[in-house]
């Protein structure tokens, strides 16, 4: 039994790249799949797509996935649609082939079962011609990989019922997709028409010797492509218009549509009627948000995208990682704000708004981050800099303990002090206190044990003598300090 009410089993007609993607998305949502594809290699190909999807979903969400649905291959289109709750056709882009398969399948499927077609450009009115109960045919155009990208364009033909489009949207939403309902059918629908415009211009740039394939892709993935992942063209251009918004943008840049920048010079006349329409729709899209608010949203989204890409070290994420390494290389060793005889003030920060949880307080995990950042600063103070790391030496955290003493909120200035508890040639035991700067209240403490390692061999090793001497200088200066009461605590220990 599927965890999605009313969607226990789907029939798939076609198991290529797109059909295999649909199979993976439905199966990983706990829906059983019956699949028809005449290719004898279809089971192997679909399983390869499914393996990729399982790997991706393991990283995509922390939410528990349902028990995977069952996959069964059948020999005819008819077998794929008997007793199912929804059908998705993904045959090759040949009108005659699609019509033939759908005519056969629709003859035996229950009249209430909606059929979605994955076509990327054929009009639904053409596809539904000759079907039994053609009113249930909709285009449900996905994007590769189907199991990850959420967009699916829903478009009906002349015979399509509103109920069929609503049922398709319900199914696609239930499996984690974002339906885009078209009001008119048009060749290529919306997304592919936009992509084709960019594709045609890209072909001309190569044809005319202006740019290479690599340059064109880089122009997209390091620039507009990053913004397009969360804001479309119109919202981006609204921001580009400044405080006057879309009205100012159109006034300033509208005339450039007549400049010979592109081979695609067949553009609509930007008359007042069209300007008014665009401005009104842009106002609706902004939904009352100011330009400053949209800029902040844009910046937060860009940071999230680039930090996400950094985890895979590709595209703009690689650029960010290289930039961070350069910053680290150029950063001077932190100076301390007091003498070594006291816990050393090594780090200070104003609590960002995105560190705050639903209670309005700094999230628990951020104290661990704050203490870890302070420990990194202390290690840099000792000389664990870029050259030290390139030499194959580093300190790795082997144990940490965080205690929570008081609260902090967004906007609070917090500083961190470090005290050496103990050390030897391989180990460093460090204790951090996090203070609110306004009244010096200790809000949290962090206790960390570090092990000196040979990063090439991947094993513990004695630190160089000069490093041990630097640690000793701090530790000896702090020997008169009392051992922190939180040091050595365990969870649940009496306070």
Q: What is the pLDDT of residues 254-306, one digit of tens each?
A: 776 666 667 677 778 888 998 899 989 999 998 999 888 998 889 989 988 99
Report pLDDT digits (tens) over 395-404: 999 999 999 9
Same-domain check for residues 72 and 146: yes
**Cβ distance 124 to 155 under 8 Å?**
yes
Please tell me the distance from the alpha carbon of residue 21 to that of residue 149, in angstroms, as a whole number: 10
Task: State which residues form the domain around 460.
Answer: 334-477
Give the H/E segment covering residue 318: helix 316-330
Same-domain check for residues 223 and 171: no
CATH number at residue 176: 3.40.50.720
> Read out DSSP for 439-476?
T--EEEEEEEEEEEEETTTTEE-PPPHHHHHHHHHHHH
Q: Answer yes or no: is 482 within a domain.
A: no
Same-domain check for residues 244 and 154: no
Same-domain check for residues 271 and 397: no
Same-domain check for residues 185 and 210: no
Top-ranked range on mean pLDDT: pick from 93-107, 271-285, 373-387:
93-107
Instruction: Say which DSSP state 134 is in.
Output: G
Same-domain check for residues 153 and 267: no
- 262 is written with which tokens? 């592109």
| Domain termination site, one of 287, 304, 321 | 304
Query: Of 452, 363, 436, nearest to 402 (Cα)?
Result: 363
Query: Of 71, 54, 83, 74, nearest to 13 (Cα)?
Result: 74
Same-domain check for residues 223 and 144: no
H helix count then E strand count, the chain: 17, 14
Same-domain check for residues 38 and 162: yes
Q: Answer yes or no: is 182 within a domain.
A: yes
- pTM, rounded to two decimals: 0.79
Report pLDDT digits (tens) over 313-361: 999 999 998 988 887 777 777 777 668 899 999 999 999 877 888 788 9
Q: Answer yes or no: is 319 within a domain.
A: no
Beta strands in 81-122 (DSSP E): 86-89, 115-117
CATH number at residue 453: 3.10.129.10
**Cβ distance 53 to 59 under 8 Å?**
no
Q: How many CB atoms lie within 10 A of CB 314?
A: 12
Q: Answer yes or no: is 315 within a domain.
A: no
């Amino acid at each position: 039994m599927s965890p999605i009410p009313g969607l226990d089993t789907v029939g798939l007609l076609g198991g290529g790249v797109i059909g295999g993607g649909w199979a993976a998305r439905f199966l990983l949502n706990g829906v059983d799949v019956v699949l028809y594809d005449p290719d004898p290699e279809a089971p192997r190909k679909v399983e390869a797509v499914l393996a990729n999807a399982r790997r991706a979903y393991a990283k995509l969400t922390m939410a528990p996935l349902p028990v995977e649905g069952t996959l069964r291959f059948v020999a005819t289109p008819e077998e794929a649609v008997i007793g199912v709750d929804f059908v998705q056709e993904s045959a090759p882009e040949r009108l005659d082939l699609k019509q033939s398969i759908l005519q056969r399948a629709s003859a035996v499927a229950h009249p209430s079962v909606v059929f979605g077609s994955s076509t990327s450009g054929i009009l639904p009115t053409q596809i539904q011609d000759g079907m039994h109960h053609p009113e249930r045919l909709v285009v449900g155009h996905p994007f590769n990989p189907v199991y990850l990208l959420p967009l699916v364009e829903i478009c009906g033909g002349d015979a399509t019922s509103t109920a069929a489009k609503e049922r398709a949207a319900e199914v696609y939403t239930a499996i984690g997709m974002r339906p885009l309902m078209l009001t008119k059918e048009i060749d290529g629908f919306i997304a592919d028409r936009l992509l084709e415009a960019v594709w045609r211009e890209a072909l001309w740039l190569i044809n005319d010797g202006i740019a290479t394939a690599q340059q064109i892709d880089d122009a997209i993935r390091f620039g507009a492509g990053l913004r397009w992942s969360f804001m479309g063209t119109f919202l981006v251009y609204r921001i580009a218009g400044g405080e006057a918004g879309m009205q100012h943008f159109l006034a300033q840049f509208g005339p450039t549509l007549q400049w010979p920048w592109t081979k695609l010079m067949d553009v609509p006349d930007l008359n007042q009627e069209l300007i008014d329409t665009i401005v009104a729709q842009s106002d609706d899209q902004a939904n009352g948000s100011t330009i400053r608010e949209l800029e902040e949203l844009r910046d937060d989204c860009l940071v999230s995208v680039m930090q996400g890409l950094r985890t895979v070290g590709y595209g703009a994420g690689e650029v960010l990682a290289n930039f961070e390494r350069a910053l680290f290389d150029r950063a001077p060793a932190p100076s301390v704000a007091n003498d070594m005889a006291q816990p050393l003030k090594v780090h200070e920060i104003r609590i960002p708004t995105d560190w705050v949880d639903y209670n309005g307080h700094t999230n628990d995990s951020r104290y661990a981050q704050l203490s870890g950042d302070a420990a990194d600063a202390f290690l840099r103070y000792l000389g664990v800099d870029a050259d030290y790391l390139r030499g194959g030496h580093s300190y790795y955290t082997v144990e940490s303990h965080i205690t929570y003493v008081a609260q902090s909120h967004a906007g609070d200035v917090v500083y961190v002090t470090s005290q050496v508890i103990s050390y030897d040639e391989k180990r460093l035991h460090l204790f951090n206190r996090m203070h609110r700067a306004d009244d010096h209240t200790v809000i949290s403490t962090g206790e960390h044990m570090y092990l000196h390692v040979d990063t090439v061999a991947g094993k513990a090793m004695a630190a160089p003598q000069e490093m041990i001497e630097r640690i000793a200088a701090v530790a000896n200066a702090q020997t008169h300090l009392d051992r922190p009461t939180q040091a050595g605590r365990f969870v649940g220990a009496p306070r």
